Amino acid sequence: MQEFTYSPLPDGTLQVAGYRGDEAEVVVPEICGGKRITVLGDRLFRGHGEITSVRIPDGVTDLGEFLFDGCLGLRHIALPSSLTDLWGYTFVRCGLEEILLPDSLTGIPPFAFKDCKNLRRVVCGVGMRRIYSWAFGGCDALEEFICPKETVISPKAFLSKEPEP
């Protein structure tokens, strides 16, 4: 079972505001009631440890805060080419092992992947311009990180916390 609830956005599109379900594979709808879905709201899948994969449709531009917090079973996610914004803590404490970020995404905010203990590989798209402090803090298994040479990476991007003075 998968049930989604929606809220309207000022531009006439929809945000997925709620989720109830128990399936391992989640497919987010592209349209509801003739309106395009562009935002996955804060905490939408938080704590759903049963989720192993998520398919997000093209047209989604924003992924909210704590969206996948505690989704320890999450291993695969297909991000849309339309994605432009991650909010803080989007993937915090989830089970991802690898992530391919689309060319349309230009930045990774603080704490976006904090404590993703299984994350081994990150591939940024050609549009990546900035990776902020603590974006990958606590990602202890990270072995491969690929991004464009012009990407500005904070010296604190891979730190878990502010170093002691």
Q: What is the DSSP string of 9-78?
A: -TTS-EEEEEEEE--SEEE--SEETTEEEEEEPTTTTTT-TT--EEE--TT--EE-TTTTTT-TT--EEE
The domain tally of the chain equals: 1
* pLDDT on residue 95: 96
Spatial distance between the Cα atoms of 29 and 92, rounded to a whole number of angstroms: 23
pLDDT tens for residues 62-111?
999 999 999 999 999 999 999 999 998 999 999 999 999 999 999 999 99
Q: Which domain holds residue 93?
A: 1-165
* pLDDT on residue 15: 98
Model's pTM, two decimal places?
A: 0.92
pLDDT tens for residues 142-160?
999 999 999 999 999 999 7
* pLDDT on residue 165: 58
What CATH number should be reported for the domain holding residue 58?
A: 3.80.10.10
